[in-house]
Amino acid sequence: MIFHVLTIFPEFFAGPFAHGVVKRAQDAHLLDIRIHNLRDWAFDRHKTVDDRPFGGGEGMVLKPEPIFLAVESIWPQRTPARKVILLSAQGRLFTQAGANRLSQESELLLICGRYEGVDERVAEHLADEEISIGNYVLSGGELAAAVVIDATARLLPGVLGNETSAAFESFQETGHGRGLLDCPHWTRPAEFRGWKAPEVLLNGNHEEIRRFRRESAVEKTGRLRRDLVKPGPQGGE
Ligand code: 9D3
């Protein structure tokens, strides 16, 4: 899978993709991440990519011209298989289902918003989708792009050893049932600073272990993620 990333901070991406699963996927040629500097498509003396918002107000807005030119030069032929995604705070919420869907694509171009936002003509006439990674304010789309790429890349066949996507379905949710958090985990030492790992996990009774894991997943989901158990008002923090 190929990811293009359009950004005014190309250096930002040296870190997030240089380690772990995403690094290995690139080394194995299962994943190719191409970073593009938006300023390469700004042709005035100062390589201007932003301007003041019409109607007044705080901050600056990314101009449409460099963004359209960049996408049209990265993809001179726009096919339905080449989807453009705008990362913005106003986008549709990115979820695991969204990662699954994107992992079926062969080539994506992610546009990272910055400043107060991006000229709306990009969302209306260039991007196929507008995505946000959560209900909090970031200072730009770069961290969001790294999140989307990480969550999507680890689903690609071969990346985690999930060779067939069918076999991987059962991998996605733990065996504890859909919509629950994963169960808590412990490792050695069996006792650390007086805190003991649950005895049941040490006794080798796999039926009991399965029941304990399911119950602890249900308990923790209810305590930390009531929203996954039942809808309704509940403060996040
Ligand atoms: C509430 C007025 N503005 C904040 C002072 C709106 C705003 C503009 C620009 C909020 C965020 C941003 C920059 N954020 C992104 O580009 C962004 C983002 C995010 O802020 N949250 C979650 N996902 C994303 S994806 C891109």
pLDDT in tens, 198-208: 999 999 999 99
Q: What is the pLDDT of residues 103-142, one digit of tens each?
A: 999 999 999 999 999 999 999 999 999 999 999 999 999 9
Whether 144 lines ligand 1, by a CB cut-off of 6 Å, is yes
> With bands split at pLDDT 50, 70 and 90, how would you rate the model's confidence at 234?
low
Question: How many whole angstroms from 141 Cα to the centroid of ligand 1?
Answer: 7
Question: How many whole angstroms from 80 Cα to the centroid of ligand 1?
Answer: 28
Predicted model pTM: 0.94
Whether 88 lines ligand 1, by a CB cut-off of 6 Å, is yes
Q: Are 44 and 15 in contact (CB under 8 A)?
A: no
Q: Which of 5, 61, 67, 88 to mutate to test the pocket of ligand 1 (most atoms within 8 A of CB)?
A: 88
Cα gap 58→104, rounded to integer Å: 39
Residue with the smallest CA separation from ligand 1 atom 7 is 116
Whether 117 lines ligand 1, by a CB cut-off of 6 Å, is yes
**pLDDT over 50 (residue 29):** yes
Cα gap 189→195, rounded to integer Å: 10
Residue with the smallest CA separation from ligand 1 atom 6 is 116
Q: Where are the beta strands (DSSP E) in the chain?
A: 2-7, 32-37, 50-51, 61-62, 82-93, 107-112, 117-118, 129-132, 191-192, 195-196
What is the pairing mode between strands 107-112 and 2-7?
A: parallel
Burial of 74 (0-12, 13-18, 19+ CB in 10 A): middle
| pLDDT value of residue 87 | 98
Cα gap 19→79, rounded to integer Å: 32
Q: Are 38 and 166 in contact (CB under 8 A)?
A: no
| pLDDT value of residue 230 | 85
Please, what sign has the CA dihedral across residues 22, 23, 25, 30?
A: positive
For 146, the enclosing helix (H) or strand (E) is helix 142-153
Cα gap 217→20, rounded to integer Å: 27
Residue predicted with more confidence, 166 or 158: 158
Atom of ligand 1 nearest to the CA of 94: 23
Q: Are 106 and 82 in contact (CB under 8 A)?
A: no
Residue with the smallest CA separation from ligand 1 atom 13 is 140
Atom of ligand 1 nearest to the CA of 58: 5
**pLDDT over 60 (residue 146):** yes
Residue with the smallest CA separation from ligand 1 atom 8 is 116
Whether 7 lines ligand 1, by a CB cut-off of 6 Å, is no
Query: What would the mean pLDDT of 203-222 be, rounded to a whole number?
Result: 98
